């Protein structure tokens, strides 16, 4: 049985990220009553130790802050203080990471604690490293702000710990906003919109450059403590994360709803209901995985339609092209050409 967390499960320590979000909003004189509406938090300056909120409640807090502050820079400013954060040993481990590679390993391995709403996934292929961000709990309306927040968090942390601004390139799964000044201020000039995933790209040569704040001993001690804590109280991935992993491992075999439901130890009807509560459905999740795999093969291996079609289990390239256009609104050739610009 695959274990996962539901969006309504109280599993996010309120004194960690929610407290930082609340503190920032209060520093900007936001209305405290409106900030706390539907968040499960009270009016305390600092949430009590041991208090937890659900992903839906944390997301509501962010929505409240965005609405009350009504400023184009709010999501970016929230990201500036997000990582390494003040989350105990896991933050210490990030603080003492020796390289970008180690920081990404920590971030991805302990994503449920460090990035509870969007999960970072990291792939390295030849000269390119890609970090892409996935919605863990079905929050499409909030996704643009969450992406800005999380990309800023990673870029800002790397700049601080690495001692210089890293040459990230940023891809957004959305149309270009009317104004991109805040994106440029916080992320830089390398921005691309109308992509089919939210991703940060960097030359792999940056992965192993030593960071001046890095400490092998301090990072090792902190990681051991984090691993012990995780063993005592495992924090399972969100439903959409767990489903993505399952489908990704089996994407070449055309996994079915029935097979997937059995792996999650529920009926197909129950899995459908769970996904509906997360604003999704099985075919959409499978198509997303197939799209990401196709983009990965186009981007990193310069694969052609026949190669990708065979990899994904299509009978021929024609069926693949038809399906790909349904998934993305573009033909594979147009997207492949755009990726190689």
DSSP conformation class of 176: P
Average pLDDT (302-314) is 92
C-alpha 200/C-alpha 183 separation (Å) is 13
Query: Does the pLDDT of residue 225 top 80, yes or no?
Result: yes
User: What is the chain's alpha carbon radius of gyration, rounded to the nearest angstrom?
Assistant: 20
The vertex-201 CA angle with 196 and 204, nearest 5°, equals 145
CA atoms of 106 and 100, how far apart (whole Å): 10
User: Predicted confidence band at 31 (pLDDT cuts at 50, 70, 90)?
Assistant: confident
β-sheet bridge partners, residue 132: 121, 199
Q: Are 134 and 119 in contact (CB under 8 A)?
A: yes
The rounded mean pLDDT for the chain is 93
pLDDT of residue 339: 63
Burial class of residue 10 (count of CB atoms within 10 Å of its CB; 0-12, 13-18, 19+): middle
DSSP 205: G
The answer to whether the bond into 161 is cis (omega within 30° of 0) is no
Per-residue pLDDT at 235 exceeds 80? yes
Q: pLDDT-based confidence at 160, cuts 50/70/90?
A: very high
Quick one: which of 325, 341, 319 has its CA closest to 196?
Answer: 325
The per-residue pLDDT for range 276-300, each reduced to its tens digit, is 999 999 999 999 999 999 988 988 7
Q: What pLDDT, in 10s, does the model give residues 243-261?
A: 999 999 999 988 999 999 9
**What tokens were used for 278?**
């997360």
Is the pLDDT at 166 greater than 90? The verdict is yes
pLDDT tens-digit map of 168-183:
999 999 999 999 999 9
Report whether pLDDT(341) > 60.
Answer: no
Residue 103 has pLDDT above 90, yes or no: yes
pTM: 0.94
Q: Is the pLDDT of residue 338 over 70?
A: no
Residue 135 reports pLDDT greater than 70: yes
Mean pLDDT, rounded, for 17-42:
90
Report the pLDDT value the prediction gives residue 231, as an integer from 0 to 100: 87
Q: Residue 340: pLDDT band by 50, 70, 90 thresholds?
A: low
pLDDT > 70: percent of the chain: 98
Does the pLDDT at position 93 exceed 90? yes
Percent of the chain with pLDDT over 90: 81
Cβ–Cβ < 8 Å for 223, 102:
no
Cβ count within 10 A of residue 255: 19
Residue 33: pLDDT band with limits 50, 70, 90: confident
Q: pLDDT band for 105, please (50, 70, 90 cuts).
A: very high
Look-up: residue for tokens 């209305």? 31
Helix axes 282-301, 268-277, angle to 10 degrees: 70
| Mean pLDDT score, 42-49 | 77
The residues facing 202 across adjacent strands are: 129
């Amino acid at each position: 049985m695959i274990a996962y967390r539901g969006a309504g499960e109280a599993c996010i320590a309120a004194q960690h990220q929610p407290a930082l979000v609340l503190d920032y909003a209060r520093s900007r004189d936001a209305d405290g009553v409106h900030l706390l509406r539907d968040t499960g938090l009270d009016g305390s300056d600092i949430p009590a130790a041991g208090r937890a909120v659900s992903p839906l409640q944390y997301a509501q807090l962010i929505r409240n802050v965005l609405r009350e502050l009504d400023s184009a820079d709010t999501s970016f400013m929230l990201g500036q203080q997000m990582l390494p954060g003040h989350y105990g040993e896991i933050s210490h481990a990030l603080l003492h990471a020796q390289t970008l590679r180690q920081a990404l390993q920590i971030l991805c391995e302990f994503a449920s604690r460090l990035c509870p709403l969007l999960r970072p996934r990291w792939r390295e292929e030849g000269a390119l490293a890609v970090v892409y961000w996935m919605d863990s709990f079905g929050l499409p309306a909030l996704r643009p702000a969450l992406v800005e927040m999380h990309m800023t968090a990673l870029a800002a942390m790397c700049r601080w710990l690495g001692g210089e601004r890293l040459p990230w390139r940023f891809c957004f799964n959305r149309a270009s906003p009317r104004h991109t000044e805040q994106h440029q201020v916080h992320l830089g000039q390398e921005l691309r919109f109308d992509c089919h995933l939210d991703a940060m790209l960097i030359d792999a040569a940056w992965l192993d450059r030593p960071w001046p704040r890095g400490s092998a001993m301090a990072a090792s001690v902190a990681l051991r403590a984090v691993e012990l804590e995780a063993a005592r109280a495992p924090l399972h991935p969100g439903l959409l994360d767990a489903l993505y992993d399952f489908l990704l491992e089996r994407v070449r075999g055309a996994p079915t709803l029935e097979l997937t439901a059995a792996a999650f130890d529920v009926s197909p009807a129950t899995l459908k209901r769970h996904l509906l509560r997360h604003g999704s459905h099985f075919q959409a999740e499978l198509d997303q995985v197939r799209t990401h795999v196709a983009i990965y093969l186009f981007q990193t291996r310069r694969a052609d339609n026949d190669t990708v079609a065979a990899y994904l289990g299509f009978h021929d390239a024609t069926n693949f092209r038809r399906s790909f256009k349904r998934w993305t609104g573009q033909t594979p050739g147009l997207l492949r050409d755009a990726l190689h610009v």
